Amino acid sequence: MDISLSLIPYEDKAILNNLIQLYRYDSSEFDGHILNYHGLYSYKYIDHQWTDSYRRPFVVKVNGEIAGFVLVILDVPREYVKLSTSVKTNVISDFFIMKKYRRKGVGKEVAFSLFNQFKGFWEIRQTEANKEAYIFWKHVIIEYTNSSLIHEKILNNEKWRGPVIVFES
């Protein structure tokens, strides 16, 4: 299986927008997203993926076929992260692998690729109700770091509700 991860150019913004629709539908049972009056899921940061220098939108392909996307925020200042004590921390803001590619190692390979490409501290958050995402990320991070998690906590406040894992790649 040939798995690739590449930046989405602005000209292909429609690809990300379409994938976000699938992602929001798939995760709506956990996070409560609702359709707007056009029958679409809104995502207010779509244009920010190309206008903010610290954001990176990636498309995931398997054997040349689109299989998902990842939105990464690099070098987030400490005041914006939940648990990291590093001066700068990387965050995966959204991570989506289509169901037909799940449980085949695609997500793990994509995550490892990102961790290797952008060395440093990472903060990974999951929606509280999405237990499968928590299991996935905990397994991936433990395997990547050989069990050297730096910090893990369940947050329950007005800004975030759910597990957060911090580690260094």
What pLDDT digit, counting tens, does each position of 94-132 carry? Answer: 999 999 999 999 999 999 999 999 999 898 988 888 899
Indicate the pLDDT class of residue 15, thresholds 50, 70 and 90.
very high
Q: Is 106 helix (H, G, I), strand (E, B) or coil?
A: helix
Residue 153 in this model has a pLDDT that exceeds 80: no
Task: Give the tens place of pLDDT for each residue, 55-90.
Answer: 999 999 999 999 999 999 998 766 566 565 666 889
More confident residue, 47 or 156: 47
E strands within the chain?
Answer: 3-7, 55-62, 65-77, 88-97, 121-125, 151-156, 161-168
Indicate the pLDDT class of residue 51, thresholds 50, 70 and 90.
very high
Provide the residue ranges of all domains of the chain, joining segments of one domain with +: 3-168
Domain 3-168 fold is: Aminopeptidase (3.40.630)
In this prediction, residue 66 carries a pLDDT of 98
Residue 150 in this model has a pLDDT that exceeds 80: no
In this prediction, residue 162 carries a pLDDT of 73
Report strand pairing: 3-7 vs 88-97.
unpaired
In this prediction, residue 81 carries a pLDDT of 61
Tokens of 7: 């930046």
Determine the straight-line distance between the first and last CA of the chain, rounded to whole angstroms.
25
